[in-house]
Structure 1
Amino acid sequence: MSETVLSTHGLVMRFGGITATNNVSMELRRGARHALIGPNGAGKTTLINQLTGVLTPTEGRITLMGEDITRLAPHKRVARGLVRTFQINQLFDSMTPQETLALVVSQHQGAGAQWWKPLGSSKAIAERAAQLLEQFHLSDVAQQQVKHLAYGKRRLLEIAIALACEPRVLLLDEPVAGVPAGEREELLQTVAALPADVSVLLIEHDMDLVFSFADRMTVLVNGTLLTEGDPETIANDPKVKEVYLGHGTATEAAHV
């Protein structure tokens, strides 16, 4: 059996009288392509915020590589290899992709104070930034200010930033949200080609992406884990069908 890299144990998150996550336990295996799905208000964002340290659970615990990180600060989780992309793009508009990735790479390598030096002054940083630009189809826009990039390119840059942090676990938060149809294919191909040794937890409403990407799926409803299994099992689960449409398959719920 493959190694568990990230796990939750009985996570409960209460806001006053509201229970946003209710005794959620799940495991992410090494190299996994695991999707977290559920209707709006299911508790997906609350769960991810607990995983990343934005929220501290009311009850339960979180482990990363066997280490309890339940109360660890967000930046320390990143340093240990737990990295998240955000549903809403958060980038420096006045910087170029090349400058952005050079900054992130230099910080990750412990040279954060040196990032502003000419890019060529550190061969290792320049080479890693160039590698990421090529991997994420950004070489042709490397010198453009981020504010001028097409939205799909912005999402690619965001994932490149996450990979620059050399994650063990990557939380992909709705990577195709708001991306026009004409820009989606490049992004979908890039997501599919993420390094095999990086364990990915995908949070996504687009069921086409979910079913093409995931080898395992967890379904949350009203803060509670409804079911978990491989894509075929989930697609044919009567409880999942009821949650999404009341009839049909889960894949038909793609744009509900």
Structure 2
Amino acid sequence: MTVETVLSTHGLVMRFGGITATNNVTMELKRGARHALIGPNGAGKTTLINLLTGVLVPTEGRISLLGEDITTLAPHKRVARGLVRTFQINQLFDSMTPLETLALVVSQHQGIASQWWRPLGASKAVTERAAQLLEQFHLGDVAQQQTRFMAYGKRRLLEIAIALACEPRVLLLDEPVAGVPAGEREELLQTVAALPADVSVLLIEHDMDLVFSFSDRMTVLVNGTLLTEGDPETIANDPKVKEVYLGHGEHAHV
């Protein structure tokens, strides 16, 4: 593993009884990468992400983050080391506003969450960081609105803002545009494209337009196995990839 590799797997295997969901997957995420993980439904993408984030412990193989073996490390400890994930389905506090949510997350990251009883804004550093995130993710106009009343695209933006509030070294973006109406997608796509260059991103996504516009490298999974890996042009012209997607009625995207 080179110093430029921030996250890697080696010989990763995940078995559920007699089913092998992840089959000897070895891959590397480079520093500052925009790396997409794609594959048809049932390819094993979610299982792999659950292994990377510690939701699952692999049957075999190992995972390294910034040169450290994290194979059996608890999920919250991986977050503390800079590995942060967004989820395909929103996991937000409906009764809180974006400002309150981000202030809470920033406070927790700065180690002062135990002082939750202090008035919002008591810490200048927390207030400034929350305001910066609200502006960066185009949430200023809904900063004081309860999350439950926000448009779905804005909720997705808030979720990514929460992830960035944890100051990740590696960000796993799990289908960021899933369920977002067409009219709300452009703002989200622009925000994803403008993520900080020093954050290495692994994108899991079915939207091939986003995948090809965002990624500088792509990994293709099929039946839990790494089919191929390369830059977007190589993947787009790979006969094996075309065959896989043709077989699943998705040839228009590849």
The TM-score bracket by the shorter chain reads over 0.9
Aligned residues of 1:102 and 1:115 also touching (Cα < 8 A)? no
Instruction: Using the TM superposition, give the Cα deviation of residue 255 of structure 1 relative to its aligned residue in structure 2, in angstroms.
Output: 6.8
CA distance in 2, matches of 1:144, 1:255: 37
Instruction: Using the TM superposition, give the Cα deviation of residue 116 of structure 1 relative to its aligned residue in structure 2, in angstroms.
Output: 4.0
Aligned residues of 1:11 and 1:21 also touching (Cα < 8 A)? yes
Q: What SS does the corresponding residue of 1:163 show, helix, strand or coil? A: helix
Evaluate the alpha carbon distance shift between residue 117 and residue 47 of structure 1 in structure 2; reply closer, same or farther with a 3 A threshold: same
Q: What SS does the corresponding residue of 2:121 show, helix, strand or coil? A: helix
Evaluate the alpha carbon distance shift between residue 247 and residue 100 of structure 1 in structure 2; reply closer, same or farther with a 3 A threshold: closer
Higher mean C-alpha deviation, range 43-52 or range 116-125: 116-125
Q: 1:239-250 counterparts in 2 under 5 A?
A: 239-246=240-247
Instruction: Using the TM superposition, give the Cα deviation of residue 154 of structure 1 relative to its aligned residue in structure 2, in angstroms.
Output: 0.2
Q: Could you report, residue by residue, the CA deviation over 1:8-49 in whole angstroms, capped at 9, with x for unpaired residues? A: 000000000000000000000000000000000000000000
Count how many residue pairs are aligned between Structure 1 and Structure 2: 252
Instruction: Using the TM superposition, give the Cα deviation of residue 115 of structure 1 relative to its aligned residue in structure 2, in angstroms.
Output: 3.0
Q: What SS does the corresponding residue of 2:160 show, helix, strand or coil? A: helix
Q: Could you report, residue by residue, the CA deviation over 1:41-63 in whole angstroms, capped at 9, with x for unpaired residues? A: 00000000000000000000000
Instruction: Using the TM superposition, give the Cα deviation of residue 207 of structure 1 relative to its aligned residue in structure 2, in angstroms.
Output: 0.1
Where structure 2 has 5 or more consecutive residues not aligned to the other structure, the ranges are none
Where structure 1 has 5 or more consecutive residues not aligned to the other structure, the ranges are none
Instruction: Using the TM superposition, give the Cα deviation of residue 119 of structure 1 relative to its aligned residue in structure 2, in angstroms.
Output: 1.8
Evaluate the alpha carbon distance shift between residue 145 and residue 185 of structure 1 in structure 2; reply closer, same or farther with a 3 A threshold: same
CA distance in 1, matches of 2:162, 2:236: 33
Aligned residues of 1:9 and 1:24 also touching (Cα < 8 A)? yes
Aligned residues of 1:219 and 1:225 also touching (Cα < 8 A)? yes
Q: What is the aligned counterpart of 2:252 among 229, 235, 254?
A: 254
Q: Could you report, residue by residue, the CA deviation over 1:53-78 in whole angstroms, capped at 9, with x for unpaired residues? A: 00000000000000000000000000
Evaluate the alpha carbon distance shift between residue 247 and residue 170 of structure 1 in structure 2; reply closer, same or farther with a 3 A threshold: closer
CA distance in 2, matches of 1:254, 1:34: 21
CA distance in 2, matches of 1:156, 1:164: 12
CA distance in 2, matches of 1:141, 1:128: 17
Q: TM-score, normalised by structure 2?
A: 0.97
CA distance in 2, matches of 1:136, 1:116: 27
Evaluate the alpha carbon distance shift between residue 254 and residue 113 of structure 1 in structure 2; reply closer, same or farther with a 3 A threshold: farther
CA distance in 2, matches of 1:81, 1:116: 27
Higher mean C-alpha deviation, range 188-197 or range 115-124: 115-124
Q: What SS does the corresponding residue of 1:175 show, helix, strand or coil? A: coil
CA distance in 2, matches of 1:172, 1:134: 20
Evaluate the alpha carbon distance shift between residue 95 and residue 247 of structure 1 in structure 2; reply closer, same or farther with a 3 A threshold: closer
Q: What SS does the corresponding residue of 1:228 show, helix, strand or coil? A: strand
Aligned structure 1 segments of 4 or more residues deviating by more than 2 angstroms: 252-256
CA distance in 2, matches of 1:65, 1:254: 37
Instruction: Using the TM superposition, give the Cα deviation of residue 120 of structure 1 relative to its aligned residue in structure 2, in angstroms.
Output: 1.6
Q: What SS does the corresponding residue of 2:253 show, helix, strand or coil? A: coil
Aligned residues of 2:40 and 2:248 also touching (Cα < 8 A)? no
Aligned residues of 1:172 and 1:202 also touching (Cα < 8 A)? yes
Instruction: Using the TM superposition, give the Cα deviation of residue 246 of structure 1 relative to its aligned residue in structure 2, in angstroms.
Output: 4.7
Q: TM-score, normalised by structure 1?
A: 0.96
Aligned residues of 1:6 and 1:62 also touching (Cα < 8 A)? yes
Q: Could you report, residue by residue, the CA deviation over 1:90-121 in whole angstroms, capped at 9, with x for unpaired residues? A: 00000000000000000000001123422221
Aligned residues of 1:36 and 1:203 also touching (Cα < 8 A)? yes
Identity %, equivalent residues: 91
Instruction: Using the TM superposition, give the Cα deviation of residue 247 of structure 1 relative to its aligned residue in structure 2, in angstroms.
Output: 10
Q: Could you report, residue by residue, the CA deviation over 1:211-251 in whole angstroms, capped at 9, with x for unpaired residues? A: 00000000000000000000000000000000001599xxx
Q: 1:100-115 counterparts in 2 under 5 A?
A: 100-115=101-116
CA distance in 2, matches of 1:214, 1:115: 39
Q: Could you report, residue by residue, the CA deviation over 1:115-153 in whole angstroms, capped at 9, with x for unpaired residues? A: 342222100000000000000000000000000000000
Q: What SS does the corresponding residue of 1:45 show, helix, strand or coil? A: helix
